[in-house]
């Protein structure tokens, strides 16, 4: 029962982090609104959100897949999870001190939203935030790591990594898309100019929180 609760909480964290990433304007939903307003076509918003989702998904997979391919994950999972948690905390502390947005993101043309989304997710550590959660989920999978064949172990971890990345991205697209549609159809540009909210501080603190929670529950 305790294992089931732990697994449910971890998968819930995957969805919650996706919703959080989607709501964060730094992950790109205002760009989708901008594309739809410039083209004057509602379909442009959906295309832009799809491009943002593809870039975000590739970024998540780029971070998670290498961990799933590590055979040593079975024997050194606790140590790797601790190291990943410390790395997440370090990134959060860095972003807490340095809140400037990466300049190279402004050089990516608006027509390449998927590339922009990928670079933004990597620069903000969005994929790194998922690593401690992913490693915790791997722990809950019933596997006799001492006798499991390497290919079975790796394929199992790879499947979990893919599911984490896809579920997280779907939650991200749902929340970000809902905001984008709301602003485009009802709230308008005045909402963006008057009610713009900056989540940079919250983002940095959330990275630190995820890392600390991972350290607390690593055993």
Interacting residues of 198 by C-beta distance below 8 A, sequence separation 6+: 25
C-alpha of 207 from chain center: 11
Model confidence over 42-60: pLDDT tens digits?
889 999 999 999 999 999 9
Helix (H) or strand (E) holding 215: helix 200-217
Mean pLDDT (the chain, rounded): 82
The span from the CA of 173 to the CA of 53, in Å, is: 6
The span from the CA of 4 to the CA of 74, in Å, is: 20
Model confidence over 122-163: pLDDT tens digits?
988 899 999 988 888 887 665 544 445 555 556 678 888 999
DSSP state of 34: H
Domain boundaries, the chain: 2-217
Lowest mean pLDDT among 6-10, 13-17, 119-123, 189-193: 189-193
- In which band, very low, low, confident or very high, does the pLDDT at 87 lie, cut at 50, 70 and 90? very high
């Amino acid at each position: 029962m305790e294992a089931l609760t732990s697994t449910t909480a971890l998968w819930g964290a995957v969805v919650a982090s996706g919703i959080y990433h989607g709501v964060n304007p730094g992950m790109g939903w205002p760009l989708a609104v901008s594309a739809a307003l410039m083209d004057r076509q509602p379909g442009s918003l959906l295309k832009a959100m799809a491009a943002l989702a593809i870039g975000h998904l590739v970024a998540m997979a780029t971070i998670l897949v290498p961990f799933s391919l590590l055979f040593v994950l079975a024997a050194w999972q606790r140590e790797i999870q601790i190291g990943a948690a410390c790395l997440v905390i370090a990134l959060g502390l860095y972003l807490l001190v340095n809140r400037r947005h990466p300049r190279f993101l402004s050089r990516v043309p608006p027509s390449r939203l998927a590339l922009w989304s990928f670079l933004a997710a990597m620069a903000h550590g969005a994929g790194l935030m998922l690593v401690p959660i992913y490693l915790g989920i791997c722990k809950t999978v019933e596997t006799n790591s001492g006798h499991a064949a390497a290919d079975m172990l790796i394929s199992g971890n790879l499947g979990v990594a893919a599911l984490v990345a896809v579920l997280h991205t779907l939650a991200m697209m749902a929340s970000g898309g809902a905001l984008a549609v709301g602003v485009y159809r009802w709230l308008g540009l005045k909402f963006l100019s008057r009610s713009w909210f900056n989540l940079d501080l919250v983002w940095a603190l959330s990275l630190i929180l995820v890392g600390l929670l991972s350290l607390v529950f690593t055993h």
